[in-house]
A = this chain, B = another copy of it.
Amino acid sequence: MFSGAQISLYPMSDEFVGVILGSLSALDPYRDRLRIETDDISTLLVGTPDVVFAAMRDLFVAAAKTGKHCVLHATLSRGCPGEPDDPICQVAEMTGPMRPLDERKAQALAAVAAIPSSGQSVAAQFSLYTLGIGQHMDEIYGCIDFIKTSGVFDRSKNFCTKLRGDAAPVFATVGEAFVRFGPPQGHVTIDLTVSANSPSKA
């Protein structure tokens, strides 16, 4: 299994470089469990989904606490047939046979309920793609059922689902969607946008 994310942080500020550099220490607790590579468009985080999601959350919360309007975008992927297996990415949810959808929904809800709050409100939207399988919409609809009861569901939009709430359950909800839906060793991707301090509250 190979899993990770290409992430980008966008502070809508003349001080965007300072906001980004000032937030990077939030990644320090995770650096020994991640492979990190940066270019001019995004930063690659390779690691298990729990570590990747916790690192993204803490980075984004650190940036949002400046009060500036900030957006984080992530292109997440696991199980891509074109990527080599990597020992840094092994995790129990992504091995073994596929469990019944109701069991996975219940596990996802329990995991989100156990997360302590971060104190930072965010809005987010994401799309889940389960690739290489014929009945991909069954997994997507199952995931949407879970999201509607996760406590951070805002509304369905064309092409994505919108969340709103504390950053901790929002990132946890997307993280559970990523690991619990689609076949355990299948190719699953997420297109995620998280926003804080927007002047145009909807």
Q: Which of A29-63 contact B (CB under 8 A)?
A: 39-42, 44, 46
A26 to chain B, nearest CB (A): 19
Q: Which of A151-166 contact B (CB under 8 A)?
A: 157-160, 162
Contacts of A2 in B (CB 8 A): 158
Asked whether A111 is an interface residue with its Cβ less than 8 Å from the other chain, the reply is no
Contacts of A173 in B (CB 8 A): none
| Given A40-B123, A202-B39: A12 and B16 interface contact (C-beta under 8 Å) | yes
Contacts of A83 in B (CB 8 A): 158-159
A40 to B137, CA, bound (A): 27
**Contact indicator per residue, chain A 79-90, by CB within 8 Å of chain B (1) or not (0):** 011110000000
User: Cβ of B12 and Cβ of A129 under 8 Å apart?
Assistant: no
| Given A41-B125, A191-B75: A160 and B6 interface contact (C-beta under 8 Å) | yes
User: Cβ of A191 and Cβ of B191 under 8 Å apart?
Assistant: yes
| Given A10-B71, A13-B12, A16-B69: A162 and B81 interface contact (C-beta under 8 Å) | no
User: Cβ of A158 and Cβ of B4 under 8 Å apart?
Assistant: yes
Contacts of A187 in B (CB 8 A): 136
Interface size band for A: 35 or more
27 residue pairs bridging A and B, Cβ less than 8 Å apart: A2-B158, A4-B158, A5-B159, A6-B158, A12-B16, A13-B13, A16-B69, A17-B199, A39-B157, A39-B162, A39-B200, A40-B123, A40-B195, A40-B198, A40-B200, A41-B123, A41-B124, A41-B195, A73-B193, A75-B160, A76-B159, A77-B127, A77-B159, A80-B159, A82-B137, A83-B158, A132-B134
A142 to chain B, nearest CB (A): 13
Asked whether A11 is an interface residue with its Cβ less than 8 Å from the other chain, the reply is yes
Asked whether A91 is an interface residue with its Cβ less than 8 Å from the other chain, the reply is no
| Given A17-B199, A71-B8: A41 and B162 interface contact (C-beta under 8 Å) | yes
**Closest chain B residue, CB of each to CB of A14:** B14
